[in-house]
Structure 1
Amino acid sequence: MNAKSNNYILIVDDDVELAQLVADFLTTNGYQTEIETNGLNAVEKIITEQPTLVVLDVMLPDMDGLSVCRQVRYGQAGIEGTYDGPILMLTALDNDIDEVAGLETGADDYLAKPVRSRVLLARVRALLRRNPHENETAPEPKQATTTTSNSLIQFDDLVIDTKYQTAEKDGKVVDLTTAEFELLALLASKPGVICDRKFISKHFSHLGYESSNRTIDLRVSRIRKKLGDENNPSTRIRTVHGKGYLFVGDR
C-alpha cells in the first residue's frame, strides 16, 4: 500500500466479515482499503504506513482498540513516530464506557455498532474534510460579523460554517471533531436558549450517535478548551445547573 495515498483507509477489526463489508463499501465509494485484525500489528501498520484515516474497533485480540489508539497517538516503544490522522472508533451499542474512553485516548469520532453504511460514509467524509493534512491550502479567514445565513453562524470572534463544517475563532481554524462541531453548531444556532441534554441527545440520535449525559458533558468541555473558553463561568457555552447548556451570543 502506498503510504502517500490520499484516500487510504485502514480498517482494524477482528470481525473479518464486518471488516470486509466495510472495506467493500468504502472501496465502491472511491477509497483504498486494507484490513488488519490484530491490535499489536495495527499499531506498527498505522505508524509506519500513515493511512489517511483509521477505522478502529474497540474489541481486538492481543491489544484492545483503546490501547491501539493511545499507542499510535503517544508513541510505541521500538517504533519511531506517531499518528495524528483521524481515528474513527467502533464501539459496542450503548457502551458509554467505550465511547468516553475512546474520546479521551485520542479518537476523533466514534460510531456504535451495528454500523450503518450511509452514516459511516458521512463520518469518514467529514473527518477527511477536516484533516489538516488533506487541506493544506485552507480558505482565507472570513470576516466575522454578527449575522446568520443558511450556512453561516457568525459572532464577533466566532464563525461557524455548517456547509463546510468548519469553525474559526479570531480568524484561526478551531480543530473540532465531527461530533464536537455538530454540538457547537447546534448550541450556537440557538443563542440565549437553554438546550437540555435530552434535546441534545435526540438531535445526535438523528446523526447516528448514541449520546449519554457523560459524553455530552465531555464534548462541551473539549469545545470550551479548544475555543479557549475555560473560564468559570464560560463566556460562550454556559452550564445552567439542573437544566442544560446555554450558548451566549454577542451582546
Structure 2
Amino acid sequence: MATTTGTVDAVPPQRRGARGRGGAAGAGRVRDLRGATVPGPRGLGFARGDIVVVSGLPGGGKSTLIERAAPEGGAVDSQNTRERWEHRMPAPLPYAVYRPLVRVAHYWGLWRILRSGDSVVVHDCGTQSWVRGLLAAAARRRGRALHLLLLDSSPEEALSGQAARGRRVSAYAFARHRHAVGRLLRAAEAGHPPAGCASVTLLDRRSAAAVTRIAFHDRLPG
C-alpha cells in the first residue's frame, strides 16, 4: 500500500482491502509502511474531523513527525506544553514539581480542540490506554474515527533520539514505554488495532521521515 508520491489514505475497513505485516488480506485496518522504498509516502490522508494519535517510544520521533507534518494549529503535543512551562519556571526547579500542572494544561488544550470538532493530531506516550479510550469516545460522539500512527523504532534509536534532544527518561519509565509500545506493535502485526481505533499505520524511522503531510479531507464515497 505504500506509494512513492501523493497521499496514502486511511478509509474505513469496508472501503479498502489491505494486507498488514502479519494481517490478513481484506482486513483494511492495519497498514504496514515499514521498509517503504525511498522516497516513501509523501502524505497520510484521513477523513475530515477524524482524530490521529501518534505513539511510539520516547525519542522515537513522534514530536518531530508532528511538527513537520501535522496541519498548522491542528496538533496537540504534550512535549510543547512541557517546554512552555519549563520556560516559565525557575531553572533549578525539578520538572516533577510542576508536572501535574503540565498535564492539566495539556489535557485542557486537548479537550478544547476535541470540543470544537476539528481534526486533530495528538501526541500519545502509549502507556495510558485510557487516553485512547477518551479520544475514541470523542470521535464516536461526532460520527468520526480514531486512527493510530505507531512509530516502530528500536530501543537504541529511541535512546539516541533522547540524547539528541537532551532529555532522557528514567530506565523504569523507558521500560514501561517499551512494554506498552511492544504490546501495541504485536497486536497490529497480528491485524488487530487497539480498542477504539479504526486503523493503525506502522512506520519505521525511514518511512516516518518521508511523511511531509498529515492531511484531512472529505470522506471518500463508500
State if a TM-score over 0.5 links the two structures. Answer: no
Higher relative contact order (CA 8 A, sep 6+): 2
Question: Which entry has the higher C-alpha Rg, 1 or 2?
Answer: 1
